[in-house]
Amino acid sequence: MDFTGKTAIVTGGSRGIGRAVCLELAKGGANVVLCYAGNEAAAQETVRAVEALGAKALAVHCDVSDSAQVNGLTGAATAAFGQIDILVNNAGITRDNLLMRMSEAEFDAVIAANLKGAFLCMKAVSRLMLKQRYGRIVNLSSVVGLRGNAGQVNYAASKAGVIGMTKSLAKELAARGVTVNAVAPGFIETDMTAVLSDAARAAAQGGIPMGRLGAPEDVAKAVAFLASDETAYITGQVLAVDGGMAM
């Protein structure tokens, strides 16, 4: 897939799935603007990895739940590269707890980062993409947003909400050549799943028809596919990358 001359914003691009997405887009020649919330060292490591592939990269500190910071992110991208062609909403957090024990702060934090953050980023790039009559928006949902999961009411709500926003915005932007799709990863080997106990990992793996956890690269390839010119007639869709979990 050729992304030569394209500029992509990847939120939460410092590590895990976000870093894999940055590298996959860079392989196709895209300029990559990645935002990070706290780990600057990891973000700069991703920048160096992108540049090693011959692409250009810029790391920007941004809390995606803050509209002013999101506007600063898009401003930095356009100042550096002149345009924004691709947005990948990957930034996300978890604050797992059973509903009866979940605090309002735990609920609000996840909704703010995962759902409001995606909303603000899509709003910030939509006007630019409409004006240039081209754009690719890819939102990271989750198998949990499709199936639910005990102890993750907040996370499931945020990721199900991402799917609803994806389908709604796809209808708003389709006539101007802007597609909006979602990828729903299953259990992927990232920092989020690294904290699982051996028993929880075994239980998760037992529910995957393929019998293994996925790799960040599995998700990144799906994201790149939906961000490419080859998918100009695909919009409002949810692509599960989960080894068959959601069947």
The catalytic position among 36, 134, 155, 233 is: 155
Tell me, yes or no, if 155 is annotated catalytic.
yes
Secondary structure string (H, E, C) spanning the chain: CCCCCCEEEEECCCCHHHHHHHHHHHHCCCEEEEEECCCHHHHHHHHHHHHHCCCCEEEEECCCCCHHHHHHHHHHHHHHHCCCCEEEECCCCCCCECCCCCCHHHHHHHHHHHHHHHHHHHHHHHHHHHHHCCEEEEEECCHHHHHCCCCEHHHHHHHHHHHHHHHHHHHHHHHHCEEEEEEEECCECCHHHHCCCHHHHHHHHHCCCCCCCECHHHHHHHHHHHHCHHHCCCCCCEEEECCCCCC
Give the active site residues. Answer: 155
